[in-house]
Amino acid sequence: MFHNIGQFNINQLNIFKMRFQLIFVSLTLTLFACSSKKNMNENLPLGDNSQTSLDWTGVYHGSLPCANCEAIKTKITLNNDLTYVMETKYVGKSDEVFTSTGKFTWDKSGSNITLEVAGEDKANHQYKVGENTLFKLDNQGNRITGASENNYILTKVDFDTDIREKYWKLTELNGKPIKWVDGQSKEAHFILKADDNRVQGNGGCNGFFGSYEINEGNRIKFAQLASTMMACENLEIENALMKVLEISDNYSLNGDYLYLNKARMAPLAKFEVVYFK
């Protein structure tokens, strides 16, 4: 009788020990998992920020201030795999377009990025990522403020609705693609100057100029158009382009493409922006 009771107590003790060991192992594994997760995430930004909340991949462009040239035309492409392509041109100093490729990193706040440019100080390539914008930062990683702060902004292409001060190359007329023709000396294009509402361009042989007016609802009107009178072998495209400028009354924009229209008819002409001209 006493032997059975003793055996029963021993069995209970063994079961208790086994349960305790299982609980201990389970707690140890849980603590290890939590610790590992913490270590994995300790360098990741917390909460909502530019990195986690914004659609930051895409192409940004604009002109940044330059100490010894007119401006630095800049185009930066940010990719999902944290790589970038940066193209720059020093206006008034060189016609060469410089291209840099590499990786970029986010800071701990998930707000700023740094481009890793070979042979250059990382401090020179810091940007704050905003809603469809990149803000060029100073060498200390701070926003540039004051009267010139708007000059340090690159805008995402799909959300840049200002058609002024861009080189618009003609790619289609009345739905037909443009091809280089005999006697053509330049590509057909135009630029809308912002400071005096003047339009200037070339039809392929002759340069042209005039005025323009942009109103609400993407309304546009060209006026006082005139051109040089050079003798050219083929003026068909040039004459058709000038006619489009005379009759078009509105425009539409789709990323890098501009369309000149008449009322709600099919587009009269299609143009593509060229960033480095």
pLDDT, tens only, 237-248: 999 999 999 999
Q: Which CATH fold topology does 50-159 show?
A: Lipocalin (2.40.128)
Confidence of residue 59 (pLDDT cuts 50, 70, 90): very high
Q: Which residues pair with 176 in a beta bridge?
A: 173
Q: What CA–CA distance (Å, rounded) separates 222 from 248?
A: 8
pLDDT of 111 over the 50 cut: yes
Tell me which of 3.30.70.1140, 3.40.640.10, 3.40.1170.10, 2.40.128.270 is the CATH number of domain 167-274.
2.40.128.270
Q: 50-159 and 167-274 share one CATH topology?
A: yes
Residue 15: predicted pLDDT? 53
What 8-state DSSP symbol labels residue 242? H
The residues spanned by each domain of the chain are: 50-159, 167-274
E strands within the chain?
A: 58-64, 71-78, 83-91, 97-106, 112-115, 126-130, 133-136, 153-156, 167-173, 176-177, 189-192, 198-202, 207-215, 219-227, 250-254, 257-261, 269-274
| pLDDT given for residue 48 in this prediction | 79
What's at 103, amino acid-wise?
A: K
Mean confidence (pLDDT) of the chain: 87
Q: What average pLDDT does range 126-138 have in this prediction? A: 97
pTM: 0.73
